[in-house]
Structure 1
Amino acid sequence: MSTKHTIPSDEELTAFIDGELTAEEAASIQTMVEKDESVAERLEFLARASLPFKQAFAPLLSEAPREKLETMLAAIPAQPSARLASTPAFASRRGFLGALAASLVAGIAIDRAVIGIGKGFSAKDENSEWRAVVADYISLYTPETLAGPVPGREDQAAQLGPLDEKLGLSLSPEAVSLPGIDFKRALLLQYDGKPLAQVAYLDPETGPMALCIVRSDAVPKSPDLESRKGMNVVYWSNGTHAFMLIGHATADRMTAIAEGVRGKVAV
């Protein structure tokens, strides 16, 4: 367990939130939360994010190669825990995240997921928070996650259709195409009770990239640039929707790509 000189990991903070620590471990983290503002802020973010991983990725786990998955999980050292021995292997978020990570390494495609975040943010914080949550999610992607053939135009249009309906958009394959970057899939997710569109791409040079869109009543904003989870993010809004393009390409290249797609995506 972490000492008072060591900042607790996200895994430990998540276990604290879920009530999975011993009384001594929980008391130690509580002390750090009270004394260290950075620990308190990280705990609050993880508590508000509350991603329903287990429900969202249940289809993924059912399709995972069980033998390889079990072998990989068996290699993870066991940690002391206050939980009962009869607790199911995937009952905790930590156990499930281990399975999810193994599935991603095995190259299993994620077909549909839900991103939920707690209520209570101000309008000002919302735009920043949704980008933070999406960045955490996209950081799980590897080139293997998006491996496979590029869907044909008809398949792309079929995937984009539900996004149009839920978000009031007009997204054609041509509108979301990125120069020199392969379209891989379009997903309908959810953020703070609102539909969120994600179009995932695979850049041959830098790996996974995604265009994400959510309804927003924030004032229109010109494109801006930030860095999250080691990736560059270009974000903007038009008064009805907020947009973000996230990927590992250089800031200049991401800005140029975003400018191109911004002019084609119509509402």
Structure 2
Amino acid sequence: MPNIDQLPLDEMLTAFIDGELDGEDAATIEALIDSDPSVAARFDQLSRADLPYAKSFETLLAVAPVDRLEGMLADIPPQARQPRSIMGRRGFLAAAAACVIAGIAADRAFIGIDRRLKRPGEGEEWRAVVAEYIELYTPDTLSAPAGDRAAQMAQLDLVGSKIGLSLSPEAVALPGADFRRAQVLEYDDEPLAQLAYLDPKDGPMALCIVKSTRGAAGPEMERRRGMNVVYWSTGAHAFMLIGHADAYRMNSVADDVRARLSA
């Protein structure tokens, strides 16, 4: 039985409503409801609650990695498994929370395995890393001008030599955004080219490029860290354009620069 002295008010009342308290604890809660108007009001609210728990979890269940989870369950010794039982709302929510935590841990484990099996830049993990980095950018980060064409060309020559791709200011120009700098980062011991831009309306934007051997694909779009990402690949490189602009504009800008880089 739960120790009601250690339970938060809502959990305590819910346990009472669901009949999970023994006679002594139930009597204590009844006395508290009778003596405290605020507790009584909360008890009435919880008693009337008819929350659609199943519907709330339909979306999660639809995208759950069922095959992977079943494989994980198959590895659990039979003696460690608990028999099914009818549970109240507290038990359901606790189980749901445990599933969420287990799902996060499992996803992290599978991401790690996936990253080791794939060559750098060929999975989605590199885009996740870039998004975390770009999320920290503000307009002040890119306030310094890029210099004249000669200065820009010097940066692009250096970056292009690292990833095996010829770059020029004209080829990497983004409509409506000002080029600010080109630099070489590193991901899984491989060079990652980052071309940074400042859009007067939507703020920082970046075009990132890594070597790839997966072949031509895309373009496709996704959301990461509150930003839109358009990504595609050629026979030798993988590209991603990331920024805060809306999906329509990001696709339009990506199509423009993709056509020039492929020419």
Verify same fold: TM over 0.5. yes
Aligned residue number for residue 204 of structure 2: 208
Aligned residue number for residue 38 of structure 1: 103
Structure 1 residue 34 displacement after superposition:
9.8
**Are residue 252 (structure 1) and residue 236 (structure 2) matched?**
no
**Are residue 175 (structure 1) and residue 240 (structure 2) matched?**
no
Aligned residue number for residue 225 of structure 2: 229
Question: Could you list the runs of 5+ residues in structure 2 that have no partner in the other structure?
Answer: 1-96
SS at match of 1:185: strand
User: Counterparts of 2:236 and 2:122 in 1: how far apart (Å)?
Assistant: 14
Give the alignment partner of residue 117 of structure 2, picking from 121, 138, 141.
121
Aligned residue number for residue 153 of structure 1: 149
CA RMSD of aligned residues (A): 2.9
Larger helix proportion of the pair: 2
Taking structure 2 as the reference length, the TM-score comes to 0.58
Identity %: 54
User: Counterparts of 1:251 and 1:239 in 2: how far apart (Å)?
Assistant: 26
User: Counterparts of 1:187 and 1:33 in 2: how far apart (Å)?
Assistant: 42
Q: Is the 8 A contact 1:167 1:196 kept in 2?
A: yes
User: Counterparts of 1:266 and 1:162 in 2: how far apart (Å)?
Assistant: 20
Aligned residues: 168
User: Counterparts of 1:193 and 1:124 in 2: how far apart (Å)?
Assistant: 8
SS at match of 1:265: helix
Alignment map for 1:1-267 (pairs within 5 Å): 36-41=101-106, 44=109, 120-122=116-118, 126-266=122-262
Higher relative contact order (CA 8 A, sep 6+): 1
Distance 1:123 1:214, change over 3 A: same
Taking structure 1 as the reference length, the TM-score comes to 0.57
Instruction: Decide which moves more: 32-41 or 220-229.
Output: 32-41
User: Counterparts of 1:151 and 1:121 in 2: how far apart (Å)?
Assistant: 41
Q: Is the 8 A contact 1:34 1:40 kept in 2?
A: no
Structure ID, larger Rg? 2
Distance 1:256 1:45, change over 3 A: same
Distance 1:41 1:219, change over 3 A: same
Question: Could you list the runs of 5+ residues in structure 1 that have no partner in the other structure?
Answer: 1-31, 49-117
Letter in 1 for 2:195: V
